[in-house]
Amino acid sequence: MAKKNSASKAPKLRFTVSHAMVTLYTILMFTLFPLFLTNYYQSARRDKFWLFVIVTAIVGVTLGIIALCQHFSKSNEKLNTYFDPFKLNLTDIGMLAFLGVTVISTIVALIGAENAGEAFEKLLLGSYGRNMGLLMILMMAVCYFCVSRYFYYTKYVIYFMFIGMTIMSFVAIVNFYHIDILGIFAKYQTNENVQVNFTSTIGNKNYLSAMITVALPFSVGLAVATKDKILRIIAYVSTGLQFMGLLVATSDGGFLGCFAAFAVMLVILSRDRIKLSKFFFCLCIMMASAKLLWLFDLLMKGNNKGYTSFSEIFVYNNFVFILIPVFLLLAIYCQKTKAEHFEKYCFITSLSIIAVGVLAIIVLFIYYSLIDTTSTLGSFTRFFRFDEKWGTHRGFFWIKSFELMNDFNFFEILFGSGPDTFYNVFAVYFDELHARFGDTSTNAAHNVYINYLVTVGVTGLLSYLLFVGSAIVNSVKNAKVNPLALMCVGVIVAYATQDIVNIANPVNTPWFIMFIALSEATRLKANSSERLMEVNF
């Protein structure tokens, strides 16, 4: 009873300038950010890098000043928020450690540099690689702490999120069929590489796939979590559109991430038959949207950039026609069933299916990589044989990266070669890369975790894993009770999984950080007695 009285006497909290800034910042990051271009595809990564850095710096400095003033204020209402923003948790520590190691890595790299001034500028801006230098890591930390501390939920923020996602995916779909509604490809009519590999307002199709890896699980999560009919309809439509966007991106990394996200979501949702019903309906929509692309393909007489791998299976394989009614019937059954202990048996079944599937993948991977290394594998089974040719020769980058570590000194092992300097240290293999695979160079390991291992060392990788791992654990725990966290959990799992074959860059990584911050914001709210952010779906 005393606890109730104490809570009732807590200062009444209000929507402040800090919350307004973060709300506007969140809206900009999901609308303007993915659509922002100044000079066609030539400037896609640079444009988004500077937009993120400048906007985040303005928000971070302003909120920092406000928070410090409130913290040292003598007023009884020191902090107009639901918890102390200066109190750290494990995820916060992971991010701060990652930033700290990046600073140390920069210093270590500067010690051996011939021209310290020029080297510092490149390490700061990430000019050696893909603009993932010290400045970008700093802004990632600022973004995370601002959003996780001051995000204030309102339904209109969700609407704005879907505006950017919808435009991005729709443009990608029509671009795939050579419909240039933005007039971007007109500049590259004689450049076949740009015509095939660049799309929408994102740039490289792998970047688009990584963005869809965020947008698709988010749409499914909202469709499952919301009780608002309008939001649910929007989420269903977006789910179909985002899946079509994933198909036209034709990048296997996106499928890898989304498959992992859906597996985790299936296990979580299996304890709630109504939410599980909505989840199966989302899968039904995805299969139907794939066949909608097939119909569009017929109308366009196959005049597209070319479906590959998983995309080709979903669009052209007739088996998908069977999956549509199967998922629909599962959705209806989960909705209508009154079976006793349904949730318990469903949880055990789904967990068993996922476990068997993962085990089968591991067994096949070991068998074809270590035992049967000579038999011919098809387009799908080729994923189970790891060698230097694996994943469009990603295996070469990974294997050689570990060989590089053998020549590192003690400090380089701990702190790496410097942020985003993979190009510099991997240059010794460029001749072999060109002779065997035709590529003249690379500035990334095509695996975010290995890339961090080389560039910011063991300590950098471990701190990043602490940050991401802690965020995943927190989001999974909180997803059971918080609808906003349920929307975030699939995104975090998907992006963290596809990072195994992805490249950290200013186009994709900010969205990942945003969703980790949103997930942490819901967890901090749940652990607080002062509830500013009542999420009502």
Q: Check if the beta carbon of residue 47 is closer than 8 Å to that of residue 35.
A: no
| Sign of the CA dihedral with 473 first, then 474, 475, and 480 last | positive
- Could you tell me the two tokens for 211? 């963005």
Give burial (CB, 10 Å; 0-12/13-18/19+) of 157.
middle
Of 286, 161, 278, nearest to 223 by C-alpha is: 278
Give burial (CB, 10 Å; 0-12/13-18/19+) of 195.
middle
- Which DSSP string corresponds to 268-279? HHTT-HHHHHHH
Prediction pTM value: 0.92
Query: How does 509-535 read in b/e, with b if 16+ C-beta sit within 10 Å?
Result: bbbbbbbbbbbbbbbbbbeeeeebbeb
* Alpha-carbon separation of residue 155 from 46, 179, 422 (angstroms): 31, 33, 42
Which amino acid appears at position 103 of this protein?
A: V
Q: What is the pLDDT along the chain (537 residues), one digit of tens a residue?
A: 444 444 444 444 567 888 889 999 999 999 999 999 988 887 889 999 999 999 999 999 999 888 788 777 654 444 445 556 678 889 999 999 999 999 999 999 998 788 888 999 999 999 999 999 999 999 999 999 999 988 887 788 889 989 999 999 999 999 999 999 988 888 887 788 888 888 889 988 999 999 999 999 999 999 998 888 999 999 999 999 999 999 999 888 999 999 999 999 999 999 899 999 999 999 999 999 999 999 999 999 889 999 988 899 999 999 999 999 999 999 999 999 888 888 889 999 999 999 999 999 999 999 999 998 888 887 667 788 898 989 889 999 999 999 999 989 999 999 999 999 999 999 999 999 999 999 899 999 999 999 999 999 999 999 999 999 999 998 888 877 777 788 888 999 999 999 999 999 999 999 999 999 998 887 766 554 444 344 455
Q: What distance in Å separates the CA atoms of residue 76 and residue 504, rounded to the nearest whole number?
A: 44
pLDDT on residue 12? 46
pLDDT on residue 92? 95
